[in-house]
A and B are shown apart, each in its own frame.
Chain A
């Protein structure tokens, strides 16, 4: 069964950094684009970033570009999100999700359970 398990969340002060990880299993990781999606408390879904299966194509939302870095290690079946210069408005549940294709389509057929990131002093 496909599994995506996020880790690395928690409480951080404004201006601080966190690195999220997403461990994937039971599918050919390198053939699937991977995406981070976040959801602020009581709000809707927000696309954050996508990386293609090979890692050669990367996309960011305007709200995180220049502060967040997505990456993947296909030898370890793991997706990462390095988050720097965190702001209060980055507070959200962060989900990693698998695309049905090797390139970005947002056909996200499997999702992790989500991990909470809280930015507060």
Chain B
């Protein structure tokens, strides 16, 4: 079962924007609009920040946005703040595994 591919780490200064990519295949991201993004701080459970490719749950900052093109999904965080320093994971339904798949995870550091 292959995970979706994300960059291992990204570093950015406060106030800047970053985009995290999540590359899959035509059996997952490319086939379904069930891409989600999660934020996880150390020692805590993940938190849903984007679902259905680009929808934000109630209470999630407008600074988080999601999109998809072909087999790649993206999470953009604008106006980075210290509290955004965390691990980020994408996920999708996959018809090849007949179930779910997570991304490899991206550690975001706010310099």
A interface residues with partner B (beta carbon < 8 Å): 35, 37, 44-47, 49-50, 59-63, 95, 100, 104-109, 111-114
Contact = CB atoms under 8 A, between A and B. Distances in A.
Given A107-B34, A108-B38, A95 B93 contact: no
A57 to B, nearest CB: 10
Nearest to A108: B48
Contacts of A47: 91, 99-102
Interface of B: 1, 3, 34, 36, 38, 40, 45-48, 51-52, 57, 87, 89, 91-93, 97-105
15 contacts: A44-B105, A45-B102, A46-B102, A47-B91, A47-B100, A47-B102, A49-B99, A50-B100, A61-B1, A61-B100, A104-B34, A104-B100, A106-B92, A107-B52, A112-B45
A49 B45 CA distance: 17
A100 to B, nearest CB: 6
Given A61-B97, A62-B1, A106-B91, A44 B104 contact: yes
Given A45-B102, A59-B98, A106-B93, 8 more contacts: A44-B3, A44-B103, A50-B100, A60-B99, A61-B97, A100-B51, A106-B34, A107-B48
